[in-house]
């Protein structure tokens, strides 16, 4: 299939065409030609739009699929449909399904269902059996079977010995451990950020300390594993390490977490981190409405924390923006606040919510957080918008205004539903196909 993307603003720092407006001819999944006024016959599909921009395909490195086990909330087909609508060509899925992705058979099930989808699915396999934090999975087998990283996902690793041994075990294969920092003994029964707002609303708080304490612990354990020869790497140069990280912190949310990771990177530690898009939009005052679609973990923090997250994105401390897509059915959300499940659906609104509420990032910086850095973290092939390269592209209008009223996810637990947003995805080009937004 041939596609001709007409008059597109190219956003790709690695491309010789970065910042230029060019036509892009895609043939059989490859970029065949980039130039001005490329001719096309009647068999070529032409893609045109006002203020059309194109970048490398976006990658979301934290998505809950709910399949297998909870397909009534989301399945692999619907999650790919939602991801494509949000501009993503690749997603990395958490292992917290039923059964948990802790063996090659379950890994193979996901991989088989992913075939033929408009989005590439990369599987994050469990560190421990059933993600229970007790016995190790066969990580080497899972790695050889195609797992891109290891994590217990929504169950942060509490046992320091398990985390330490996982880092040691993954070192020889250049493997990646992803962990959400949370000391769960400090967050039990917590509903929202611990602070003035939780006191006023009468809800049990989740202290920032629970995140920061575990993050400090994990950094100390990483030091223990990688101390020799690490302190000089990139020290004093840039917060962005040039080698793939060994340890990735998922969905950080506090100012001190940003500062701890900033210092670790300045010392050359092989770490990376991400932030959920909704954490950049809301602070804890939003929960005065008791809207259960705003109940997330980690919780929305203070305005000072939100400002620190934006600053961390701007200076390169925070590597990626994720959806933390967690579908919940109506029965899980239409409850009293303290009974409702955590999580929001976010795949379709990551770009628009970030653009709409942008405080600090240029468009190039934002695309770096969505396309380039996530690929680096997951060790995916390095791509660029250049002739002869695979065509994995996202097409968008950064100034386009639209209303989020037709979600593609099976679940509707989004705080943005019905809102008018800036930043419209036009479609994706991936695996030789153009998938327009609905």
CATH number of 235's domain: 3.20.20.140
Q: How many domains does the chain have?
A: 1
Does residue 20 sit within a domain? no
More confident residue, 244 or 56: 56
Confidence bin at 230 (pLDDT 50/70/90)? very low
Using the structure block, give the residue that is written with the tokens 């009293």: 336
Does residue 241 sit within a domain? yes
E strands, 167-280, in order? 177-179, 192-193, 205-206, 247-249, 271-276
Contacts of 84 (CB under 8 A, 6+ apart): 118, 119, 408, 427, 428, 435, 437
Average pLDDT over residues 227-256: 70
Does residue 48 sit within a domain? no
Confidence bin at 160 (pLDDT 50/70/90)? very high
Average pLDDT over residues 320-335: 97
Determine whether 102 is an active site residue.
Answer: no
pLDDT at residue number 117: 95
Confidence bin at 233 (pLDDT 50/70/90)? very low
Average pLDDT over residues 367-390: 97
SS3 182: coil
Confidence bin at 244 (pLDDT 50/70/90)? confident
Which of 119-133, 223-237, 303-317, 345-359 has the lowest average pLDDT?
223-237
Does residue 84 sit within a domain? yes
Contacts of 145 (CB under 8 A, 6+ apart): 104, 107, 108
Please state the separation of Cα 87 from the chain's center in Å: 12
Longest Cα separation, the chain: 66
Does residue 64 sit within a domain? yes
Residue 234 has pLDDT above 60, yes or no: no
Q: Among 23, 324, 368, 397, which one carries the catalytic annotation?
A: 324
Per-residue pLDDT tens over the stretch 86-104 = 999 999 999 999 999 999 9
Using the structure block, give the residue that is written with the tokens 């793939």: 244
Dihedral sign for Cα atoms in the order 294, 351, 245, 380 = positive
Per-residue pLDDT tens over the stretch 391-430 = 999 999 999 999 999 999 999 999 999 999 999 999 999 9
Residue 236 has pLDDT above 60, yes or no: no
Does residue 49 sit within a domain? no
SS3 341: coil
Does residue 152 sit within a domain? yes
Residue 241 has pLDDT above 90, yes or no: no
Domain housing 263: 58-381
SS3 15: coil
What interhelical angle do 76-85 and 104-114 show, nearest 10?
Answer: 50
For 271-307, give one letter per residue: b (16+ CB within 10 A) or e.
bbbbbbbbbbbbbbbebeeeebbbbbbbbbbbeebbe
pLDDT at residue number 227: 82
Average pLDDT over residues 110-136: 97
Confidence bin at 243 (pLDDT 50/70/90)? confident
Does residue 437 sit within a domain? no
Confidence bin at 237 (pLDDT 50/70/90)? very low
């Amino acid at each position: 299939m041939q596609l001709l993307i007409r008059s597109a603003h190219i956003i790709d720092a690695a491309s010789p065409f970065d910042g230029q407006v060019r036509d892009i001819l895609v043939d059989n999944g490859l970029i065949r030609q980039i130039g001005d006024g490329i001719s096309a016959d009647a068999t070529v599909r032409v893609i045109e739009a006002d203020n059309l921009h194109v970048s490398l395909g976006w990658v979301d490195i934290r998505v809950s699929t709910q399949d297998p086990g909870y397909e009534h909330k989301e399945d692999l087909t619907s999650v790919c449909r939602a991801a494509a609508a949000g501009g993503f060509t690749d997603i990395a899925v958490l292992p917290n399904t039923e059964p948990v992705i802790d063996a090659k058979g379950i890994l193979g099930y996901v991989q088989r269902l992913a075939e033929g989808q408009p989005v590439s699915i990369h599987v994050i396999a469990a560190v421990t059996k059933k993600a229970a934090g007790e016995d190790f999975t066969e990580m080497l087998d899972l790695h050889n079977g195609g797992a891109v990283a290891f994590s217990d996902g929504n169950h942060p690793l509490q046992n320091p010995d398990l985390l330490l041994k996982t880092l040691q075990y993954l070192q020889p294969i250049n493997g990646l451990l992803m962990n959400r920092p949370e000391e769960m003994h400090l967050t039990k029964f917590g509903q929202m950020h611990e602070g003035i707002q939780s006191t006023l609303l009468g809800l049990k708080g989740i202290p920032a300390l629970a995140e920061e304490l575990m993050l400090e612990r994990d950094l100390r354990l990483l030091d223990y594993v990688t101390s020799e020869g690490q302190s000089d790497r990139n020290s004093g140069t840039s917060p962005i390490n040039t080698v793939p990280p060994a340890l990735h912190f998922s969905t950080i949310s506090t100012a001190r977490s940003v500062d701890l990771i900033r210092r670790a990177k300045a010392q050359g530690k092989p770490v990376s981190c991400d932030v959920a898009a909704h954490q950049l939009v809301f602070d804890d005052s939003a929960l005065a409405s008791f809207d259960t679609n705003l109940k997330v973990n980690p919780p929305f923090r203070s305005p000072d924390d939100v400002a620190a997250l934006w600053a961390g994105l701007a200076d390169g401390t925070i590597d990626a923006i994720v959806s933390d897509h967690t579908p919940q059915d109506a029965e899980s959300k239409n409850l009293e606040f303290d009974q409702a499940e955590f999580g929001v659906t976010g795949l379709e609104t990551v770009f628009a919510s970030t653009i709409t509420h942008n405080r600090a990032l240029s468009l190039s910086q934002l695309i770096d957080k969505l396309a380039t850095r996530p690929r680096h973290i997951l060790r995916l092939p390095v791509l660029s918008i250049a002739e002869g390269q695979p065509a994995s592209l996202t097409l968008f209008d950064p100034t386009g205004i639209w209303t989020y009223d037709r979600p593609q996810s099976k679940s509707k637990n989004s705080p943005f539903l019905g809102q008018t947003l800036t930043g419209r995805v036009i479609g994706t080009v991936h695996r030789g196909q153009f998938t327009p937004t609905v």
